[in-house]
């Protein structure tokens, strides 16, 4: 499982290009298309899915 708030913050940082290390370029492209609602739904899913952290 992934912490809900952590996921939302990371997605926002990718979308606004605050994160630029590692695989950020790949994640930026994906996060740019997400709405606030998309981010919240994704975070909800990842925070309740025990396999999401593997």
Distance CA 29, CA 20 (A): 12
- In tens, the pLDDT along 19-50 reads 989 889 999 999 999 999 999 999 999 999 87
Least confident segment among 1-5, 11-15, 44-48, 50-54:
50-54
Does a structural domain hold residue 25?
yes
pLDDT band with cut points at 50, 70 and 90 for residue 54: low
| Total domains present in the chain | 1
Does a structural domain hold residue 53?
no
Residue 30 CB coordination number (10 Å) = 11
How distant is the alpha carbon of residue 23 from its chain centre?
Answer: 12
Residue 27 CB coordination number (10 Å) = 16
Does a structural domain hold residue 19?
yes
41 lies in which domain range? Answer: 4-48
DSSP labels, 18-45: ---STTHHHHHHHHTT--HHHHHHHHHH
Average pLDDT over residues 6-17: 95
What per-residue confidence (pLDDT) applies to 33? 95
What per-residue confidence (pLDDT) applies to 11? 96
């Amino acid at each position: 499982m992934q912490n809900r708030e952590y996921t939302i913050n990371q997605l926002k940082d990718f979308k606004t290009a605050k994160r630029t290390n590692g695989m950020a370029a790949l994640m930026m492209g994906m996060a740019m298309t997400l709405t606030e609602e998309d981010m919240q739904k994704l975070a909800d899913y990842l925070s309740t899915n025990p396999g999401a952290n593997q």
